[in-house]
Structure 1
Amino acid sequence: MEGVDGAIRDNPLPEDAHDGTDPAVEIWVSEPDLGREFAALDSPDPTIDDGVSASDGPVVILEIPPEVTDADIEHILGQDTLTEMSRLHEIRGIDAYGWYVTFHQRTAQHGVHIPLEGALLMAARAFHHLPIADERKVNLAFHAILRHELFHFAADCMSANWELATDTAMYWKAKEKHRNAQGYVEHEEAMANAYMLRGFQYPRRLLANSGGASPALKSFTIQQPAGYKEAYKYAGSRAAYMRGCRDLSTQVQHASGLPPVPAAMDTLLLFADPFRIDWTRCPIMISDRFDLRRLLGINIDFFTCIPAITETPKFEKSLNKLGPTVQEKWLEQKSKLAQSTSLNSLGFQKWTKGGADCYSVNVGSHRAHLRLDRGQSTWSALDIGTHLAMGHGS
């Protein structure tokens, strides 16, 4: 990229819904398994040795105390902040709650930035009426914001691919040519919202069983500004989404001043994979400028891996009853957990019915429950059985 004249600039943040004063600060994320308190959301490669794919997003779990109310959050944030967030929502839609910083600039840390207050306020706006726990609403809001911003990363990479292929700067030219009066590219925002919506329309494990979140999110996007609210046109089918991505790619190339590419060329190919964006290649930061974790007792868990698990006597007894096939599968899943918790085949997730710090993992047609001892930063396997026996339904 540095070799393409004009591709990278020493510019301030290109989309300044929230430029802040410290865009490159180190972000707090709980990683007790790594023995450190501060880190960005890093992850291993999207595939492990056996080719098993990583999930659509990191296993980030926001734990909200049940006694926390919207009034508590509003009191801490203050009326000025709430008014400013509402104003930004009117002009920037979902980008009022999080933002993406391009790697086409040198000024600030590139990647997805999600302030904790953004996830809390979006949950209250988009999912307030859903019959699910407030904690689940906040987690859904976090992943909705993340999916929208990850599309901007994919579009950033698409522009870079054009630039590397043609040795011609395109990203900034396209931004300058296609931005509207509010400073954003309407078609790109439509596609970012479409990627977000499709994640909820065709959910994988992180967004499954979301209690009506998909139609709620669609209603939420329709109320957003120009571009953002057009997402439904592209989210409904694979063909429509592909067409929208092709149009965005062509839009970038046209802004370059180069001759149009031959009609036979599929400009969709400049995207690495617009259907499953590789989040492991994009820095993801969660900020907490209002100290909400401490004031509200919020935990943010992100476990990249679980290197060791102690099996309790109860677990060993249950496992011994299940036979060699399940026992071998358990060893396989433990090996995968030691590499990454984000593999789809693991289905690693918080198990709220098990109480504080309880999690569950797939073991073939069975399910195992794990518990984290935060004080010791150690994991224990509590029990294993069929999905139904473990309380996960049929």
Structure 2
Amino acid sequence: MYDLLVVGAGPYGLSIASHAAAAGLSLRVLGRPMASWRDHMPRGMFLKSEPWASSLSDPEGRRRLETYCAGRGVAARHGEPVPVELFASYGLWFARNAVPGVDERTVARVGACSGGFEVLTDDGEVLRARAVALAIGVMPFVEMPSELSGLGPERVSHSSHHGDLSRFRGRDVTVIGGGQAALETAALLAEQGTRTRVLARADGLSWNDVPPDWERGWWRSARAPHTGLGCGWRNWFYAERPGLFRRLPEPTRVRITASALGPAGAWWVRDRVEGAVELMLGHEVTSAHGSGTGVRLEAVDRDGTQTRLETDHVIAATGFRARRERLGLLDDELRAGLAVLPDGSPEVGRDFESSVPGLFMAGLITASAFGPAMRFVHGAGFTAGTLVRGVRRRLRTGTGGGRIPAPGEGRRRGSDLGLGAGL
């Protein structure tokens, strides 16, 4: 039985694994390394965060993004966005050098058993561990407007479903949303010859400013310090003090997480959108229907005026929402045992441990507890160190000689969970 199974091999999962290995824990990491960047982002996209705020975390800080870039003669400069291909390559390098092997199989189910947890892989093997860290990224939490339900993937998709946009060359595509994913997707579509429009509820688009110089006068730096989430003291608090953020009243945390760092386009994509992409601002989709091989969208503006348009495909760049019920890889009882916050996300303690002892969470799903930094790579460092300390504490203090109690006082074998029949 392992001390820790890490489910997910993105920036958070790999960072947790690096810290866990350094702490001497026996562990296994499951998942396709850097899958979101390799499989769900088309070529030509860039990271929105600064290079110096985009590193995965190892305990000694030897595997930073700038180290990888320097070793390959590539610049990683402040104010110059990093291509997603470079970032994915960096993550694979980190996995090879800072993590003791990654098992690329997919996890089909996680359940509780006597002594801890059982994890079922997609090819039927059962692995057991005393603790599990879920670092599953954003893909389980895709948010699609209900108005688009019922239309198949040939007509409607989410922006995260595309690693390649070339299938839309010469076609008409409507992108719904006003954030970075919507605007950068629209820019890439337009640049390849797709007739593209952006439909957004906001009356105007928001654009991030060009970042100020790294070297500034002391007064400007004191008024608005650089942080991993942008300039300013409020962003500094979110980026550098997630532990203090968690001490805020629960309603305050949930409200800030829902509103802070809202939809906005990066400064470097603005000129690629304005004048190149049709903008339908102040509009909200009210219904969508199949029409021939495409989609008929009906929308309403602020004045109540109805608009109908025909498009070949709709891409919903409508973000992600971390809810307990979307944790489909947890078995029913384990999922039901998770306490939730008012926004439906699982509640986690100071060490990222959920209400199920031994089950830890990382990444977007913890944003309402630890703040907006958990939506970005920058939050991986705090998470990895804190979570691994929590795992070690759990392994030391688990009841019954180290046994992690299963939900509902259960002491069932794997076959009772449908995970390890016949074992």
The TM-score bracket by the shorter chain reads under 0.3
Query: TM-score normalised to the size of structure 2?
Result: 0.23
Instruction: Kindly indicate which of the two structures has a greater share of residues assigned to strand.
Output: 2
Instruction: Kindly indicate which of the two structures has a greater share of residues assigned to helix.
Output: 1
